[in-house]
Structure 1
Amino acid sequence: MNWYEIVFELIDMRSFSNLWFWIALAAVWSTTSHYVLGVPFDMVGRAAKHGGQSERDLETLVRIRVNRLLFIARVSGLWIVGFGAAILTALMILGFVYQVEFAQAVFLIAAPMTLVGLLSLSTARLIEMADLSGAALRLRLTRHRQMVQVIGMVSIFVTAVWGMYQNMNVGPLGG
């Protein structure tokens, strides 16, 4: 038995039948919906409930994250779009033309996360342009989180349906 067989026996490369893929998918979406623009969402609730220093902390952290996100977009945005499009295209071709299941799985995580990234950039621009603070800022962050959760629910549903189709189509023995 060579080391390829040992590795592939130990780590099932058929992603949709692998428990670790589903754990990773849940972790990605849980983390993504909790961190709104990189700010923990519990800070929004704490700012609404307590105000004062909690509100100032939220506004400061949001300002830092918005400025950082917009700086990266302005400096490297075209490069990020180019590399991102190339990677997503390669994953889509490998996954759905050449039937590489691992590429399908990565694509089904990466494509919706790209939408979340674009949504985050849009929200950051809205916050900067309107110079939001207080209740208006909390409302914008809450709406952003709700949109991320909708994208996540649709993504998990599509991934689950595609994964079930793959598992029923390929079967338990890979044949």
Structure 2
Amino acid sequence: MRSFSSIWFWIMLATVWSMVSHHVLGVPYHMIAAARRQGGQAEQDLEDMVRINVLRRLRMVDQAGIWLLGLGCFMLTGLLILGWVYWIELAQALFLLGLPLGFVALLSLLTAKRIRAEGPQGEALFRHLHRHRVWVQSVAMAAIFVTTLWGMYRTLSVGVLGS
């Protein structure tokens, strides 16, 4: 249950944020780069894949969005209480992972809505996807930084105080 002193937690944290940063609205970034470089069929494939993922994401939100929001808030609130009222380190670690992922989900939803409304193609679509990736990477860097600071504090305070 000592999450912050476990190498597996840090490997999992790096893996999660690496995967979230690499997949822009469900589309692998190398596919975006290839479409931008090659154009033609690669660009058409990218536009189709983005359209499919945007529609899938928005349909899911239309059908079960309020339930997903309620469940997510319930889980984060539970982790917050378990982590900082009862001082359960595993709950703290999961909260510090889950809250920024919630922000990324919100960013993805907003980007998907914008793409559906504007229907960008070519360079305009690349700009939307690049902007979204930069925001996700910013959230990831901030989340890793905060988690690292809190993890060091908890590990050092438990080591010094023995509690």
**TM-score, with structure 1 as normaliser:** 0.91
Q: What's the CA shift for 1:173?
A: 9.6
* In structure 2, C-alpha distance between the alignment counterparts of 1:44 and 1:134, rounded to whole Å: 11
- Is there any run of 5+ residues in structure 2 with no aligned partner, and where? none
Q: Which residue of 1 aligns with 2:53?
A: 65
| Equivalent in the alignment of 1:84 | 72
Provide the rounded CA distance (Å) in 2 between the counterparts of 1:81 and 1:32.
Answer: 19
- What is the aligned residue count? 163
Specify the SS of the correspondent of 1:84. helix
Provide the rounded CA distance (Å) in 1 between the counterparts of 2:48 and 2:147: 37
Within 5 Å, give how 1:92-171 maps onto structure 2: 92-171=80-159
**What is the percent sequence identity of the aligned residues?**
52
Gaps of 5+ in 1: 1-12
Report what 2:9 is aligned to: 21
Q: CA deviation at 1:133?
A: 1.0
Displacement over 6 Å in runs of 4+: none
Aligned pairs for 1:45-64 (under 5 A) are 45-64=33-52
Alignment of 1:1-40 (within 5 A): 13-40=1-28
Q: Determine helix, strand or coil for the equivalent of 1:171.
A: helix
Aligned equivalents of 1:14, 1:123: Cα separation in 2: 37
Answer with 1 or 2: which has the greater Rg: 1
Q: CA separation in 1, counterparts of 2:46 and 2:98?
A: 29
